Amino acid sequence: MIFRLFTPEEVFNIDAVLVDTRRAIEYRAGHIPGAVSIPLSRVVKIRGLALDIPSRREIESILSSSGIEPNQWVVAYDDSGGVKAARFLYTLEIYGHEKLGLLDRTYSIYVEEGGKISREKPKMYPTNYVATLDDNRVLTKEKLLQLIHSGEAIIVDTRSREEYLMGHIPRAINIPWLLVAGYRRVLKNPEEISSIFSERGIRVTDSIITYCNEGTASALVRYGLFIAGYEKVLNYYLSYNEWGSDPTMPKVVFLQR
C-alpha cells in the first residue's frame, strides 16, 4: 500500500479519482471540480452499534460505478477533519487498493482558501473493479484480546480524554486524534506526529492498534502514523462501539456516567 497527502493542485495534475465522502446533499450543493460522490455511509454497514465494512461484491459495485480502476490513485476528502475520508480509505485498503491519498485540507478550508467549486457531476465510465479482501487488515475483537494478553501490540485510544476515562480497552494509551490534527490541515507534519508518539515511548518499530468509537478518527491517526514512518499500524475499525457493547469484553472504567 502507498499512502500520501495531496494538495488540491497535486490532485489535478495526476491520474487520480478524487472522492467526496460527504453526504450527497452536500456534494450537490458544491464540490471540488472533478470529484465523484461516494458518501461514507455507502461504504460502511451498521452492525449493532459498530460500523462494519461492506461485502466484496458491494465494494466492487461502488468502485466500478464510480469509474475507479485498481491501479489509480484514489484521493478522498471530507468536511469532518479528515476522519470520514480516512475511514473510507481504510475500507479500500482492506480490499486491496494500493494507491491511497488524503486531501491535506477539508472542503471548507479549500473553499476558504479560494478553491474553485462545481455543481456538475463529472463523466464517469464504469469499470470492472475486482477487489481482494486482505485478512491481515481485518482485526476482530477476539484477535485484539489475544494481542492484549500477549502484549504484542500497543493499543492507542484516539478518543477524547473524557471518553477514555469513561471506559476503554485494557492497556490502551490515550492519544486523542486532535493532537495529530494540523492547523488548517487534516494532519500535522510527520516530525510533529513522530514527536507526539515517541514522547509516549512508542517506537517506529512497534506494532500499534488504533481505535476510537467508529473507526473514523482512529483511521486518520493510523495514516498520520504512516506518514511519520510507523508502518506496523492497524485500525480496529469496529472500535469501542463494538468492544464497549459486548459484556464479555474486559474494560477499564475511571469515571461513571
**Per-residue pLDDT at 27 exceeds 90:** yes
Q: How confident is the model at residue 125 (pLDDT cuts 50, 70, 90)?
A: very high
pLDDT at 61: 98
- CA max distance for the chain: 53
CATH class of the domain comprising 2-135: alpha beta
pLDDT at 257: 62
In this prediction, residues 228-255 reach a mean pLDDT of 96
Q: How confident is the model at residue 254 (pLDDT cuts 50, 70, 90)?
A: confident
C-alpha to C-alpha distances, 52 to 1, 86, 168, 238, nearest whole angstrom: 21, 14, 20, 6
**Per-residue pLDDT at 133 exceeds 90:** yes
Going from N- to C-terminal start, the domains of the chain cover 2-135, 139-243
**Per-residue pLDDT at 253 exceeds 70:** yes
Q: How confident is the model at residue 9 (pLDDT cuts 50, 70, 90)?
A: very high
In this prediction, residues 163-176 reach a mean pLDDT of 97
Position 1, amino acid = M
**Per-residue pLDDT at 6 exceeds 90:** yes
pLDDT at 62: 98
Of all residues in the chain, the percent with pLDDT exceeding 70 is 99
pLDDT tens-digit map of 15-26:
899 999 999 999
pLDDT tens-digit map of 207-216:
999 999 999 9
Q: How confident is the model at residue 255 (pLDDT cuts 50, 70, 90)?
A: confident
Q: Give yes or no on whether 2-135 and 139-243 have one common fold.
A: yes
Inter-residue contact 117 to 33 (CB < 8 Å): yes
In this prediction, residues 84-91 reach a mean pLDDT of 98
pLDDT at 178: 97
In this prediction, residues 5-17 reach a mean pLDDT of 94
**In whole angstroms, what is the distance from residue 222 CA to residue 5 CA?**
13
Question: Helix 83-94 vs helix 217-227: angle between axes, to the nearest 10 degrees?
Answer: 80
In this prediction, residues 134-159 reach a mean pLDDT of 96
Tell me which CATH code domain 139-243 carries: 3.40.250.10
